[in-house]
Amino acid sequence: MICYNCGNVLTNSDYCSHCGMDVSVYKRIVKLSNTYYNAGLTKAKNRDLSGAADTLRRSVKLNKRNIDARNLLGLVYFEMGETVQAFSEWVMSTNIQPDNNPAEKYLVAIQQDKGKVSELNHTIKKFNIALDYAKSGTDDMAIIQLKKVLNQNPNFIKAYQLLALLYLKGGQYERAKKSIKKSMKIDKCNPLSIRYLREINEYMDEEKKTDPDKRMERRRNLRGVMVDREYLSGNDVIIPKNNFKEAITGAQSILHIVIGLLLGAALVYFIVTPARMSHLTDQANNVGVEYNQKIAIKNSTISELENQVDTLKTEQKKLKSDLAQYTDTGNTVASNYSNLLKSVNYYLNDDYKNAATALSDVDSKLKMDSEDFTTVYKWLSSKLSKRISEEAYNAGMTARDKADYDTAIKQFKKCIEADSGNVDAIYYLAWSYKNKGDSKNANKYFKEIYDNFPNSSHYDTAKSQLNIDDSSSSGDNGDNGDNGDNGDNGDNGDGGTSE
């Protein structure tokens, strides 16, 4: 155990032998955190994933530096199909302990599977679509989406639970029970799964008592028609008596055969054939009626779906209109999430240039309510800060050369946020403000160069722009001197004209 104050190894004493800090309470907290970790590990081995997740969350709440507990929590989330939460725990783990951390191996293993990240993102999107369908009452579409989700992520417990709930709503108790049992093979003691299973059993028992015919009919539909057979015992078999006649002559036998054939042919022609034809006609009519009914049902379904599509399009237009009233392009929470996800995806695919470009588009000044967003952003920024600084600086210089000072100001500020010691970015930011006519902000950044970068090549220019003369000079002469200084700097020639 390490002292939280000085980082030295602690002994059995309640005080740190190096800094003298009282660590008695700290030791109890760490031990309790480790106890929760051990309990969570036991539950995870016994397939009580929801219980393990709850216990491990308590462990990391007590000691956020408990790397083993945080990594195991990520593995439990991943096994339950909660990939986003698993990634968040592993990213926080690597942020706390960058070296010798198994979480880095987990992230690299997923990164090596190129299609895995994309597939997991699609799974989450499809689950959200299914959830929206379920909320709007379109249960059939929700069930279709959930089946697709479970094909891609067969451990997604929430998808099994939602599918069971939809089956339960539709009265398909056997299918609901089957879905819940699949989820309980993954997480044996999930409270919500246990609750659903209990309610399904209650419904099935009640139906068995009140309406057994309906239950039998539903089971036939699931398993095929069940034919009840009546078996006879030995005592029920009636053995007929055998009647023997005297032998007859050959001519009589032939005559009897001919008469039998004639009677058989007549029977077939007059009785069997018409009955067979009538049966085939009735069967063809029934098939025609059945197909007509199916066509009518499909036409009705198509009409309903077309109405739903029209309604959804109308709602989409309305939502877009409402969204436009409350958001401005390029500076929204949604765009921040989108840019961060793009950056993470590029980074996992070793495309660091595009990762830096996407991360530079994230507005760090915009308030984000998600702690996970902030953690991932800081971790990624630490990995890409130099590249972000270079990308923003180059973009700012390009915009400045085109006299697009608003864009130049924005890009130079991003560069300074990533690298506060980039004096060139501060210098050109000051000139961008000055060329725009904003002398107040220009002097602010010239003052920063004068105060903090006395050895910079831009120091003398900043001093002259601030009208500072170590010997003596007037304000008017100082302004004239600025223009002359700017003329020497080829990239600031436009600064002289702005004065």
Which amino acid type is present at position 200? Answer: I
Mean pLDDT of the chain: 79
More confident residue, 389 or 132: 132
C-beta atoms surrounding 373 within 10 Å: 16
How would you class 196 by CB atoms within 10 Å of its CB: exposed for 0-12, middle for 13-18, buried for 19 or more?
buried
The answer for residues whose C-beta is within 8 angstroms of residue 320's C-beta and 6 or more apart is none
More confident residue, 277 or 407: 407
pLDDT score of 73 more than 80: yes
Q: What's the confidence (pLDDT) of residue 470?
A: 57
- pLDDT tens track for 95-140: 999 888 999 998 888 888 777 778 888 888 999 999 999 999 888 9
Q: Whole-angstrom Cα distance, residue 70 to residue 55?
A: 11
pTM > 0.75? no
> How large is the average pLDDT for residues 375-381?
82
Contact 466, 436 (CB under 8 A): no
- pLDDT tens track for 78-88: 999 888 899 89
Please, which pLDDT band fits residue 308 given cuts at 50, 70 and 90? Answer: confident
Q: How far apart are the first and last CA of the chain?
A: 64
Contact 409, 429 (CB under 8 A): yes
Q: Whole-angstrom Cα distance, residue 380 to residue 292?
A: 61
Helix axes 352-360, 333-348, angle to 10 degrees: 170
Q: What's the confidence (pLDDT) of residue 476?
A: 37
Q: What's the confidence (pLDDT) of residue 235?
A: 43
Read off the tokens for 274: 């018409």
Domains and CATH numbers, the chain: 23-112 (1.25.40.10), 118-210 (1.25.40.10), 339-466 (1.25.40.10)
- pLDDT tens track for 397-451: 999 999 999 999 999 998 888 888 889 999 999 999 999 999 999 999 999 999 9
Read off the tokens for 386: 């130099």
